[in-house]
Structure 1
Amino acid sequence: MIDTAVSKPTCKAVNLSPLRIPEIQGNPLAFLQRNAAEHGDFIHYPLGLWEVFQLNHPDLIEHVLVTNQRNYSKNTVQYNTLA
């Protein structure tokens, strides 16, 4: 029997303390790229009531945006700001 199950990616939680706000505001792309390099393809930013995730691997992005898009809400502040 062939195992076709896809393993779930591990998720690294990154603390976003208020001290990091100037870093994020100064160059958000550099902040995201640095976290991707340091923490991998699937990053979790716990922000109190909100759960924010950064996906960096094309397969993960495809899963959320194409393959399984109905299970993920895009009615978010970030999405509406960029839309």
Structure 2
Amino acid sequence: SASPPALHLPWNIPFGAISLTIDPISALFLLPTFTLGAAAAVYGRGYLSAMAGKRNLGAHWFFFCLMLAGMALAVCATNAVLFLIAW
């Protein structure tokens, strides 16, 4: 059996390195996270189109992507400190 995809980066904190792994259970949770995230982005694009000329929507999309990244990091984190940062 093949090992799951993993990323290990050094980090100067007392509890270890940045460690992310996509095992079968995290892949199971990543699938609805990104599927619903894509659906929310499509809906949000239409919903926010009325405000496109009045306000800069860059901040909205930045924080939306940041939320999705945090959800993905929380699912893939194999280090407790990284999990808490992502949470």
The one of the two structures with greater contact order (alpha-carbon pairs below 8 A, sep at least 6) is 2
TM over 0.5: no
The normalised TM-score by structure 2 is 0.25
TM-score (norm. length: structure 1): 0.25
Q: Which protein is bigger by CA-based radius of gyration?
A: 2
Higher share of residues assigned helix: 2
